[in-house]
Amino acid sequence: MSGRILERRASHILVSDHPDGPYTPMADSTYLPANKSTLDGTFWVDKDGKPYLVYCHEWLQNGDGTIERIELKSDLSGSIGTGSLLFRASSSPWSREKDANGTVRPNKVTDGPYVFRTQTGRLGMLWTSWVYDVYTQGVAYSATGTLEGPWRQEKEPITPPNFGHGMLFLTLRGKLLMAIHSHQNINGHYRRVPHLFEVDDSGDKLIVLGPYHP
């Protein structure tokens, strides 16, 4: 924010010719704008066949955190352009905080974007903010089916309170799960605790069915 000195935060992209490595930084020394404090980059190939990095531009720098995209070169050796806005933290109808006067307003944090498609082809994005002092995950859907959006926010969070930064994966048996974490005070230390949720993507919306215990 204005007048505040920050160390630069940046997502990093490593590339390899093989899944088991070795991994090395992409050729370009700067693949996200050097003047932006960014985090939580996630890779996505859009309908145009082009690869993109979707990332958060930190609220600590801009005062109203954003989710943005930047196009990557076809060989993933660098990025193209300076990035573009997808949506702001303040567009969320469910995130909340209080200002110094006690006035309730949208929270300013964006965290953990993860892009997915449902089985019907609808493009969605998991992302996380706060409801006062509780870490909370919501979801948005693209009206055009592309990263360009516009992105429409769901009215309510997609997971229970104190869960966020979710990502989806298929088990070896084909079950769709969400990996996610909560925050917990353990013996005076602030810890992130991993959890799994079973989810259903067969319709137009991602549905969280409940905790999964293998």
- The yes-or-no verdict on residue 43 having pLDDT over 80 is yes
In the predicted model, is pLDDT for residue 38 greater than 70? yes
Give the angle subtended at the CA of 160 by the CAs of 157 and 162, to the nearest 5°: 100
pLDDT score at 166: 96
Long-range contacts formed by 29-33: CB under 8 A, 24+ apart: 30/79, 31/70, 31/72, 31/78, 31/79, 32/70, 32/79, 32/83, 33/70, 33/82, 33/83
Backbone angles phi, psi at 15, to 5 degrees: -125, 155
* Mean pLDDT to the nearest integer, 14-39: 86
128-163 pLDDT per residue, tens? 999 999 999 999 999 999 999 999 999 999 999 999
Separation CA 32–CA 25 (nearest Å): 13
Q: Is the pLDDT of residue 3 over 70?
A: no
- Residues 70-88: what's their mean pLDDT? 91
What residue spans define the domains of the chain?
14-166
Task: Tell me the average pLDDT of the chain.
Answer: 91
Structure tokens at 143: 């009206």
Model confidence band, residue 82 (pLDDT cutoffs 50, 70, 90):
confident
Is residue 2 scored above 60 in pLDDT?
no
Label residue 13 by pLDDT band (50, 70, 90): confident
Kindly report, residue by residue over 158-171, the tens digit of the pLDDT. 999 999 999 999 99
Q: Under CATH, which architecture does the 14-166 domain have?
A: 5 Propeller (2.115)
- Minimum mean pLDDT range among 9-18, 45-54, 90-99: 9-18
Q: How far is CA 83 from the centre of its chain?
A: 16
